[in-house]
Chain A
Amino acid sequence: MALAPEALDQIESHPVDVLVIGAGGAGIRAAIEAKAAGASVGLVCKSLFGKAHTVMAEGGVAAALGHVDPEDKWQTHFRDTMVGGKLLNNPRMAELHAQESPDRVQELEAWGAVFDRTRDGRILQRPFGGHSHPRLAHVGDRTGLEMIRTLQDRAVALGIDVYMECTITRLITGGGAAGAGRGVVGAFGYWRTTGAPVTFPAKAVVLATGGIGKAYTVTSNSWEYSGDGHALAYSVGADLIDMEFVQFHPTGMVWPPGVRGLLVTEAVRGEGGILRNKDGKRFMWDYLPEDRRGEYAATDEEAAKWVTAQSQGRVTDARRPPELSTRDNVSRAIYTEVREGRGSPHGGVFLDISYLPAEHVRRKLPSMYDQFKELADVDITKGPMEVGPTTHYVMGGVRVDAETGASTVAGLFAAGEVAGGMHGANRLGGNSLSDLLVFGARTGAGAAAHAARTAAQPYLDPVQVRDAARELAAPLERGSGEDPYAIQHDLQDAMQRLVGIFRIERDLQDAIAELAKLKARWPGVAVAGGRIFNPGWNLVFELRNLLVVSEAITRSALQRTESRGAHSRIDHPETDQAGWGGRNSVVRRRGDGTMEVTTTSLPDMPDELRLLLGGAH
């Protein structure tokens, strides 16, 4: 049924100071901070509360606590993050992240989190790829669950209003104060459980919607990762940056087919897992970048010595195994081994931890043990796993102010994976959970401060609300038309084939053409059934968002004619420091609705930070 204009004032409405969209780690942390600052807060999520993608995080949260290695300081964490990000990170964000993550982790403990312990009873830290010191606070291999449950409990204790199973489909803009431009003044959405529309007039809106993995066929991400926040921000004219940088995690499951892409935590390698090809060769020795080779063990023996020391919680002078190279590098190595015919039976490579005592493996990697046992009939204490790259994380996102999380549009903020800048061209494992905490808190505070400065109670433009309500109802009313599942399938297929780990101009041009066709099909999409918990209908709006982010990824990838971090161009294999160093891609919506892609210069790095990088820049 079409929503008559006179019915507009009957739409359920929840005015708040700060609306947080997304209840993963960043969203809940932002809500907690905004609430603590005195704002009224609404926290909206597409799933049940506590089910967000953060629960999937396994390995740990990176923070230079210095509990295992007292040499680890924020300065070393900063350096590792910048080097891992190929110096394309926003240096101020990387600085704040390294400085504040220890406090944010300790704070979780004060709110009830129970991390694994060192022998002297403090929070234990494990090594991870690209981190020069053991740095990841963890709970076995279910760190994300611990984090989200702790934040969830804290939010409940503070009395934050949570709106579960609610999808936001549109941001509403308003005239705002003189000079403020058309800022964001609220959001429109619907209850997934009833299909009824709902609005949230808000003085500030925080996007904390996570990533974009569902643009690809093989991904570690759940259905929720449809780039909602990226697309919402884009729709109101906010800048997106670095969208070409999509992280392909080196180790996803490759078999059985139903779980292809499911994450195999990097902690397997952190605990000593060895990668081998079908000939039994430990191939990572061949793929270490020359300029970093000195950071890695020289021999199997040295790597084994490191693993032994690590499993006993000792500091050692042995260097780390080659498997702990950065994710972009390990992914390319595995992809190359498979492409050149040295892969495992199901199209991956072997990852082996079974040489360590079974009891130790089960204690440190309990979810991995269960996951392989129950889903693949593989006992990882007895034999190797088969693994291959899987779409995991997008480094790019909404361009934000490092201090407050403010986007380039008034009233709109972003934190967590949906925000860009923190991780540059490649994210280190463990830096995502700490990112969520540090910038979740900062953005919650920033949004609350913005709300406090905004005197007027927001009023939602009825024309925009009516249009959003019509758009929502249209797929149910068309009767017949395009099948959203079919469009999604074609989209994922195109992105997987043409905009994957290795890219080339011809493929990217083809992808842009295919995306244009898919975009043209979307307005004719039709779904059967009613409004109550109708997954086909729900998919329609996620699909719209995926089309936007896919185009942004592809156009940014086409523009960047070099290889850097997670972005590898076959036709431009070198890193072009003179041409592309310090340049971020920017994606923005033009007035006519087309997509503009340009570049901008990275913010200047103060000398004291530059010194920390030593010879790395």
Chain B
Amino acid sequence: MSESTAIIEVRPGAAAAPATEAAGATPARLRVFRGEPGSQAHYDEFDVPVEEGMVVLDALHWIQANGAPDLAVRWNCKAAKCGSCGAEVNGKPRLTCKTRLSDFDPAEPIVVEPMRTFPLIRDLVTDVSWNYAVNRSLEPFTPPADVPQSDWRWQQEDIERVQEFRKCIECFLCQDVCHVLRNHETDKPFMGPRFLVRTAGLEMHPIDQADRRRYLKDVGGVGYCNITKCCTEVCPEHIKITDNAIIPLKERVADEFYDPIQWVWRKVRGRPDAPLRTELPMLPSAPAAPVAAARGDGESAAPMAAAEPALPTPPKRASTRPKRPRRRSDAGDETPSEG
């Protein structure tokens, strides 16, 4: 990767807190990634006065209100319910709204960077629209046509697993950490942990009638997951993504397509494979230009149209992305470092 040659340029931020303001508590030093496509990225450093219980997002807001009003940060609820404020804090994908400053060594700067898997828009904001395109390719919830809703009866214990999957707040930290996506390891698309969780929530719904196994195998690329569990580790909702969603889906696919008895039985029955709503996409020959993609649709004229025929490949970071200083700790790693 050419990025490894980039030089870390650290500039003091415009708003270093005066020592008097931070009296009583050691200020936290934040080293924040700044940059946009087509520019040389750098880091700004800010000394932020610390209040009890303060989280990284509080510190970023303080920076915005005290000298860097244009610092780009995506956030909404500040309560870990909306999943907007994901970033990498000291190299780990985290929700900045629930990452406490007190969790870090005050002697070291806290490094805040955007999610690395997605194309950069600016500073800490990335273009996550690819995820929405993947979502559109999934077969929606399909209730039975012949059972009236008044007859639907499910016990609480029958839905607890599905409810676990539906806790997902779509922060995309699992997509960010997944090495298959992060390192663009495959020639064919991979839907990523978030959409395996969504698929599991549909497949295990007590009355859903659709069969998504061929999609999982041929379009979504469930086989690419080699169950390293990185996604489970970063999930702020504590969803057991690998154990409860991905492995059962892999088993369903294996039972359907790789079990010899099933294979013979299918041949005997002569049942055709269920038609696929989607087909295998071609890899885009060129990455989406970040500015156009940043619109939230990836295409200028047809924002989030539903009739997306194929699962797109995540746009690769390319020359339009600013050179990204690399941390020493993640050189050569496939997954973000633990440090």
- CB within 8 Å for A110 and B143 given contacts A47-B84, A51-B83: yes
From A489, A530, A535, contact of B69 by CB (8 A): A535
Cα distance A163–B294 when bound, in Å?
Answer: 11
* Residues of A130-186 contacting chain B, CB below 8 A: 139-140, 142, 144-146, 149, 153-154, 156-166
- What does the 1/0 interface line of A45-82 toward B look like (CB < 8 Å)? 00111110101100000000000000000000000000
**Do the beta carbons of B70 and A156 come within 8 Å of each other?**
no
A360 within 8 A of B: no
**Do the beta carbons of A535 and B64 come within 8 Å of each other?**
yes
- What does the 1/0 interface line of A229-263 toward B look like (CB < 8 Å)? 00000000000000000000000000111110011
Contacts of B202 on A, CB cut-off 8 Å?
A: 112
Cβ-closest chain B residue relative to A113:
B166
Contacts of B83 on A, CB cut-off 8 Å?
A: 51
- What does the 1/0 interface line of B151-195 toward A look like (CB < 8 Å)? 011111001001100110110000000000000000000000000
- CB within 8 Å for A56 and B82 given contacts A163-B303, A536-B69: yes
A502 within 8 A of B: no
From B166, B205, B306, contact of A156 by CB (8 A): B306
Cα distance A483–B69 when bound, in Å?
Answer: 9
Kindly provide the distance from the CB of A475 to the nearest chain B CB, expressed in whole angstroms: 11
**Do the beta carbons of A51 and B73 come within 8 Å of each other?**
no
**Do the beta carbons of B156 and A116 come within 8 Å of each other?**
yes
- What does the 1/0 interface line of A513-546 toward B look like (CB < 8 Å)? 0000000000000011110111111000000000
Kindly provide the distance from the CB of A56 to the nearest chain B CB, expressed in whole angstroms: 5
A370 within 8 A of B: yes
**Do the beta carbons of A149 and B166 come within 8 Å of each other?**
yes
Contacts of B163 on A, CB cut-off 8 Å?
A: 114, 139-140
* Residues of B37-73 contacting chain A, CB below 8 A: 51-55, 57-58, 64-65, 69-73
- What does the 1/0 interface line of A330-344 toward B look like (CB < 8 Å)? 000000000000000
Cβ-closest chain B residue relative to A530:
B70
Cα distance A252–B70 when bound, in Å?
Answer: 30
Cα distance A166–B123 when bound, in Å?
Answer: 19
Cα distance A48–B73 when bound, in Å?
Answer: 13
B136 within 8 A of A: yes
**Do the beta carbons of A262 and B69 come within 8 Å of each other?**
no
B286 within 8 A of A: no
- CB within 8 Å for A120 and B73 given contacts A112-B141, A222-B78, A257-B52: no
* Residue from the set A112, A120, A263, A367 with the largest chain B CB neighbour count within 10 Å: A112
A-contacting 9-mer, from B1-9, B127-135, B256-264, B317-325:
B127-135
B288 within 8 A of A: no
Cβ-closest chain B residue relative to A224:
B76
**Do the beta carbons of A114 and B53 come within 8 Å of each other?**
no
Kindly provide the distance from the CB of A262 to the nearest chain B CB, expressed in whole angstroms: 5
Kindly provide the distance from the CB of A43 to the nearest chain B CB, expressed in whole angstroms: 9
B98 within 8 A of A: yes
From A117, A194, A263, contact of B155 by CB (8 A): A117
- CB within 8 Å for A194 and B295 given contacts A51-B82, A259-B53, A533-B123: yes
Contacts of B305 on A, CB cut-off 8 Å?
A: 159, 161
From A120, A257, A371, contact of B79 by CB (8 A): A371
Cα distance A142–B72 when bound, in Å?
Answer: 28
Cα distance A140–B80 when bound, in Å?
Answer: 16
**Do the beta carbons of B58 and A258 come within 8 Å of each other?**
yes
Contacts of A158 on B, CB cut-off 8 Å?
A: 306
Contacts of A596 on B, CB cut-off 8 Å?
A: none
Cα distance A153–B199 when bound, in Å?
Answer: 12
- What does the 1/0 interface line of A96-123 toward B look like (CB < 8 Å)? 0000000000100111101011001110
Cβ-closest chain A residue relative to B208:
A112
Interface size on B, residues (CB 8 A): 68
Contacts of A163 on B, CB cut-off 8 Å?
A: 296-297, 303-304
Contacts of A535 on B, CB cut-off 8 Å?
A: 64, 69-73
From B70, B76, B141, B162, contact of A222 by CB (8 A): B76
**Do the beta carbons of B51 and A257 come within 8 Å of each other?**
yes
- CB within 8 Å for A160 and B306 given contacts A194-B295, A258-B58, A536-B70: yes
Cα distance A158–B136 when bound, in Å?
Answer: 10
A577 within 8 A of B: no
Cβ-closest chain B residue relative to A51:
B82
Cα distance A484–B53 when bound, in Å?
Answer: 27
B280 within 8 A of A: no
Contacts of A121 on B, CB cut-off 8 Å?
A: 152-155
Contacts of B303 on A, CB cut-off 8 Å?
A: 161-164
From A49, A109, A256, A530, contact of B304 by CB (8 A): A49
From A56, A114, A527, A536, contact of B162 by CB (8 A): A114
Cβ-closest chain A residue relative to B75:
A223
B149 within 8 A of A: yes
From A112, A157, A193, contact of B127 by CB (8 A): A193
Contacts of B64 on A, CB cut-off 8 Å?
A: 485, 535-536
**Do the beta carbons of A257 and B159 come within 8 Å of each other?**
no
Cβ-closest chain A residue relative to B136:
A156
Kindly provide the distance from the CB of B141 to the nearest chain A CB, expressed in whole angstroms: 3
A467 within 8 A of B: no
Contacts of A159 on B, CB cut-off 8 Å?
A: 305-307
B81 within 8 A of A: yes
A301 within 8 A of B: no
A374 within 8 A of B: yes
* Residue from the set B57, B132, B136, B149 with the largest chain A CB neighbour count within 10 Å: B132
Kindly provide the distance from the CB of A554 to the nearest chain B CB, expressed in whole angstroms: 25
Kindly provide the distance from the CB of B68 to the nearest chain A CB, expressed in whole angstroms: 9
**Do the beta carbons of B294 and A194 come within 8 Å of each other?**
yes
Cβ-closest chain A residue relative to B127:
A193
Kindly provide the distance from the CB of B277 to the nearest chain A CB, expressed in whole angstroms: 11
Cα distance A532–B75 when bound, in Å?
Answer: 16
Kindly provide the distance from the CB of A519 to the nearest chain B CB, expressed in whole angstroms: 21
Cα distance A579–B221 when bound, in Å?
Answer: 69
- CB within 8 Å for A156 and B140 given contacts A255-B53, A375-B98: yes
A376 within 8 A of B: yes
A191 within 8 A of B: yes
A300 within 8 A of B: no
Cβ-closest chain A residue relative to B14:
A528
**Do the beta carbons of A532 and B121 come within 8 Å of each other?**
yes
Kindly provide the distance from the CB of A334 to the nearest chain B CB, expressed in whole angstroms: 20
From B69, B129, B141, B296, contact of A153 by CB (8 A): B141
Interfacial residues, chain A to chain B (CB-CB below 8 A): 12, 47-51, 53, 55-56, 106, 109-112, 114, 116-117, 120-122, 139-140, 142, 144-146, 149, 153-154, 156-166, 191, 193-194, 222-224, 255-259, 262-263, 367, 370-371, 374-377, 483-485, 489, 527-530, 532-537
A-B contact pairs, 24 of them (CB 8 A): A49-B132, A51-B83, A51-B84, A110-B143, A112-B143, A114-B159, A114-B163, A116-B156, A120-B153, A149-B166, A156-B140, A159-B306, A162-B304, A163-B296, A191-B295, A193-B296, A258-B53, A377-B53, A528-B69, A533-B123, A534-B70, A535-B64, A535-B70, A536-B69
Interfacial residues, chain B to chain A (CB-CB below 8 A): 36, 51-55, 57-58, 64-65, 69-84, 98, 121-123, 125, 127-129, 132, 135-136, 140-141, 143, 149, 152-156, 159, 162-163, 166-167, 169-170, 202, 205, 208, 291, 294-297, 300, 302-307
4 more A-B residue pairs beyond the given contacts A117-B156, A375-B55, with a C-beta to C-beta distance below 8 A: A370-B80, A485-B64, A533-B121, A533-B123
